[in-house]
Structure 1
Amino acid sequence: MVQVTFINKPVTLVGNEVKVGDQAPDFTVLANDMSPVTLKDSEGKVRLIASVPSLDTGVCDAETRRFNEEVASIDGDVAFYTVSVDLPFAQRRWCAAAGIDGVHTVSDYRELSFGEAYGVYMKENRLLARAVFVINREGQVTYVEYVPEGTSHPNYEAAIDAVKAALAE
């Protein structure tokens, strides 16, 4: 089982650990207009999914902006999602204020469907742990990073390299 800390304190991750080679688990989250979003909605695309504790924090803000820029510069059919338990309304405001339009910010606040399916739901504070998943066109997980400390950045280069490799398959 993956072990992570959040603000240097150990947390309990609820759900299933996802590993490279697994079929990506389905989930249901909410778009900014409260409509349901599932993994199948982006079927046939390479997916980069980043889970973050909250877009209203410096690291989550910087991470989402960085991945948004990186994905925009890639030639290929990539769907980029940032998942948090922030309310859809707050996510929409964040995107508007940040001028972000390439990322799909989706909310897991209602059912924690993504959090449990991908093993990133932090029980102690009802937030999602920082993690990055790349899923190829066939729905297979090709990259996983559970960031050991929730206030640290993920390995951007490795994640983007995994996206490019999945596009080349």
Structure 2
Amino acid sequence: MVKVTFHQDPVTLVGNEVKVGDNAPDFNVLTNDLGIKSLADYQGKIKLISVVPSIDTGVCSIQTNRFNEEAKELENVSVITVSMDLPFAQKRWREVNNVEDLELLSDHRDADFGEKYGVLIKELRLLARSIFVIDSNDKVTYVEYVHEVSEHPDYDKALEEAEKAE
């Protein structure tokens, strides 16, 4: 069981832990124009899913901008950021930060992604910072649940794993 803290206080994660080798759980999230996206929309592509609690906070903003920059260099990899922010807030943030090379998706409506990937923080209704790499056959090849939500993930390891995935 994954143990996560938020400003050093333990939090409860809802859902099941996703592990390397698992079939990636399907999910439904919202696009910035309120459309619906699911895992099936990325069929045949490698997926690097960066999960952040709120796009308007420092570490989350840095994380999303970093993966946006790196996305330009990745071939056949869909880079996705998921948060609980409203789609309208994500769209505004995206425009202000000139983010063009990754998708920013909202789990706000149903918390479907959060529950299926075991990253929904019960006490806060936010998502725990995490990274998932899923290969073109929808097998999970890399997982990082960041133990302290306010800390950065291992960017280099996630990118290395995305590049290795087939």
- The Cα shift of 1:73 comes to 1.5
1:17 is paired with a residue of what secondary structure? coil
* 1:67-98 Cα distance to aligned partner (Å, 9 max, x none): 11112122x11111110110000000000000
Q: Which residue is equivalent to 2:122?
A: 123
TM-score, structure 2 length as denominator? 0.99
Q: Which residue is equivalent to 2:53?
A: 53
Q: Which residue is equivalent to 1:84?
A: 83
Counterpart CA distance in 2 for 1:92 and 1:104 is 10
User: Aligned partner of 1:58: which letter?
Assistant: G
Q: Residues 9-158 of structure 1: matches in 2 within 5 Å?
A: 9-74=9-74, 76-158=75-157
- The Cα shift of 1:7 comes to 1.3
Alignment identity in percent? 55
Counterpart CA distance in 2 for 1:7 and 1:98 is 26
- The Cα shift of 1:135 comes to 0.2
Which runs of 5 or more residues in structure 1 are unaligned? none
Task: Write out the 4+ residue segments of structure 1 that deviate beyond 2 Å after TM superposition.
Answer: none
1:109 is paired with a residue of what secondary structure? coil
Counterpart CA distance in 1 for 2:100 and 2:6 is 29
2:156 is paired with a residue of what secondary structure? helix
- The Cα shift of 1:64 comes to 0.4
Counterpart CA distance in 1 for 2:162 and 2:72 is 12
Aligned Cα root-mean-square deviation (Å): 0.6
Counterpart CA distance in 2 for 1:133 and 1:142 is 8
Counterpart CA distance in 2 for 1:164 and 1:73 is 10
1:10 is paired with a residue of what secondary structure? strand
TM-score, structure 1 length as denominator? 0.97
Counterpart CA distance in 2 for 1:9 and 1:39 is 32
Counterpart CA distance in 2 for 1:28 and 1:7 is 29
